[in-house]
Structure 1
Amino acid sequence: MSDDDREIDTLRKQIPSFACRSGCHDCCGPVTASSTEMARLPRKSSAARDAALAELSCTHLGENGCTVYDERPLICRLFGTTPRLPCPNGARPEVMIDPKVEQQIHWFARRTRQVLV
């Protein structure tokens, strides 16, 4: 396991969780993630990526929501847990993310190679 993998796992554990509204995918769209996070996701064809991008969607968004929910990137996990990325439907955890953890996530994103999901 690489240092980035360990850091991702550590950060994931510190992001509060909450239940999204069933069927909602209002936060799902084109985002960037680290190469390490992308390596954890199934590969999609260029045609699938292009089609999703044309719809301003995520290539991993399926008919019933996120198809990679357990492995979704850090940026996806942040939605709804911080005032900077609020849930459009008002869902949120009981306790929002610690600002220091959020800062660590943004620092991780800045120091790693980011690719379009």
Structure 2
Amino acid sequence: MTANSQTIRFLRQRIPRFECIVGCHDCCGPVTTSPEEMSRLPRKTAAEHEKALAELSCPHLAEKGCSVYLERPLICRLFGTTNALPCPHGRRPELMIDPQIEQQIHHYMASTRQILV
């Protein structure tokens, strides 16, 4: 396991979880992620990426929601858990993310090359 894999696992375990509205995908859109996280996702064609970008969507957004939910990138996991990325419907965990963990996530993202999902 690489150092980045260990970091991703550590950070994922510390992001609070909460119930989203079934079928909602208001926070899904073009995001960037590290190559390490991208390598865990199914490959999409250039056409699929272009179509999603034109729709300001995510190429992994399917008819019933996120098709890569269990492997979704850190940035996707942050939505709704921090005041900086609130859920547009007001959903949130009982306890928001620890500010130090959020800072570590931002540091990880800033220290790794980011690519468009």
TM-score between the two structures when normalised by the length of structure 1: 0.99
Alignment match, 1:39: 39
Distance in structure 1 (CA, Å) of the matches to 2:86 and 2:44:
28
Gapped runs of 5+ residues in structure 2?
none
For the pair 1:26 / 2:13, whether they are aligned, the reply is no
Alignment match, 2:3: 3
Q: CA deviation at 1:102?
A: 0.1
Q: CA deviation at 1:99?
A: 0.2
Distance in structure 2 (CA, Å) of the matches to 1:8 and 1:94:
23
Residues 1-117 of structure 1: pairs in structure 2 closer than 5 A: 1-117=1-117
SS in 2 for 1:28: coil
SS in 2 for 1:85: coil
Distance in structure 2 (CA, Å) of the matches to 1:43 and 1:5:
19
Q: CA deviation at 1:14?
A: 0.2
SS in 1 for 2:27: coil
| Structure 1 outlier segments of 4+, above 2 Å | none
Deviations 1:85-117 (A, max 9, x none): 000000000000000000000000000010001
What is the Cα-based RMSD across aligned positions, in Å? Answer: 0.3
Distance in structure 1 (CA, Å) of the matches to 2:60 and 2:99:
28
- Percent identity among equivalent residues? 64
TM-score between the two structures when normalised by the length of structure 2: 0.99
